[in-house]
Structure 1
């Protein structure tokens, strides 16, 4: 249980460091950088989950507590993985839609001035 707790705490520190690093960078027009920056709050939430799981696993010393700690640790790890996966999916969708709107607003060659027949999502 000690090894799992230490690994979980190290993963929490690495995830939090990655989230803080993404937040400290300037906002960019690059698609990949926008997705990474939008994922930072999700990474911080996952780091908190991993830290709680690691702390509970470290606190469990007796055999009766170790089973409960293992369950809590597993739930925290799965929750952190699920949170990051859902955050990646949602942030990629949002940034993709924003970039499509910006590209549609900038380009007039795709539909010309016939907005009634245009299939682009430019917001107008």
Structure 2
């Protein structure tokens, strides 16, 4: 369980760094910057996953083997599910934003100030 605990803690630190980095990036003045909104909206699930993995790693390092294994498995599955659900919701939001921007252009990129694809 030592290896699983160390791996969980290392991945937790990585997820926390990525989450805080996404939140600390400077914001732009453009409201339609979809990439910035996506990066910022993925940060809370990343931080939640970091907490879950840190808890699983702590239990793996300090707990008894028979109780640590189920806790670590549940924490890993929970962290993966949290990031996957957050990414899914963020992707749906980004798609709606892009569709709204494309619809507001109405097919005329010459008269539109937004970028048409």
Q: TM-score, normalised by structure 1?
A: 0.76
Is 1:14 the counterpart of 2:14 in the alignment?
A: yes
Equivalent position of 2:2 in the other structure: 2
Q: Number of matched residues?
A: 105
C-alpha contact 1:27 1:37 (8 A) present in aligned 2: no
Distance 2:77 2:24 in 1: 27
Q: 5+ residue gaps in structure 1?
A: 111-124
Distance 2:82 2:102 in 1: 30
C-alpha contact 1:2 1:58 (8 A) present in aligned 2: yes
C-alpha contact 2:34 2:97 (8 A) present in aligned 1: no
How far the C-alpha of 1:109 sits from its partner, in A, is 3.7
Distance 2:73 2:91 in 1: 27
Q: Larger Rg: 1 or 2?
A: 1
RMSD of aligned residue pairs (Cα, Å):
1.7
Q: 5+ residue gaps in structure 2?
A: 109-117
How far the C-alpha of 1:30 sits from its partner, in A, is 4.6
Q: TM-score, normalised by structure 2?
A: 0.81
